Amino acid sequence: MTLVVPGYQRDDAGAHPPLLSPGYKSTVLRAPSQAPILLPHTLTEVTGPLLGEGRVTAADADLTKNAGGEAQGQRIILHGQVRDSDGRPVPHTLVEVWQANAAGRYLHKLDQHDTPLDPHFVGVGRAMTDSMGRYRFVTIKPGAYPWRNHFNAWRPAHVHFSLFGRSFTQRLVTQMYFPDDPLFPYDPVFNSVPEDARHRLISRFDLSATVEEWALGFEFDIVLRGRGATPMEEQS
């Protein structure tokens, strides 16, 4: 999402988790065993497909309404600003989210957790940032869930974020957590991030964003690069 000039030294290298984090067992299987090879991008990868405002509607940012009903759980409003390393807003970029339902289950065939599915919650949404780089989603707070990485392993409540630039080759992925989660010390995914950067993954409770008697508000700003960069999952 940001032009990298050859020879330029990134100053956010200490923010991102390594591809191989043995405590997070699936990285042992998917981390590259050899140095990655940089493939040049052709005009097709750089210019398409078109990601524009006309393809995203306001309804795409409301995850609580689906199939003629409303999702179960605590309604929340997630909002924030996408910024570059100089603090400037990044406008008109595509932000996608996906998450488990209030019971801690994804709508995915591989998720066989015995908690119930919600027929009115598919768990995915998308929005375009406005001219000031701001986004807003209405959703429900996801539940924690077991994930069999180790004995009695539970993932803290979290929401996945994906950000696109002007093409699919310009993609960043991260996770957002909620304040004061007791599972933080036990989660190898969260702890794979360098300690000094972990707080950048935790949203802030925002009373000003709440809707009285309807939804709580949480703020999560995303910084694409620089010393204050939001930790991102390295793409292998």
What residues are labeled active site? 106, 145, 155, 158, 160
- Number of helices (H), then strands (E), belonging to the chain: the values are 3, 13
Other CB atoms within 10 A of residue 158 CB: 24
Distance of alpha carbon 166 from its chain centroid, rounded?
A: 18
Instruction: Check if the beta carbon of residue 201 is closer than 8 Å to that of residue 193.
Output: yes
Euclidean distance between CA atoms 176 and 157, whole angstroms = 9
Tell which phi-psi region holds residue 213, choosing left (phi > 0), alpha (psi between -120 and 50) or beta.
left
Question: Phi and psi dihedrals of 117, rounded to 5?
Answer: -80, 155
Q: Extract the tokens encoding 231.
A: 């930790």
Containing 190, the helix (H) or strand (E) segment is: helix 188-191
Which class for 198: exposed (0-12), middle (13-18), buried (19 or more C-beta within 10 A)? middle
In terms of Cα–Cα distance, which of 153, 150, 216 is closest to 179? 216
Other CB atoms within 10 A of residue 129 CB: 21
Q: Extract the tokens encoding 105.
A: 């289950």
Which class for 172: exposed (0-12), middle (13-18), buried (19 or more C-beta within 10 A)? buried
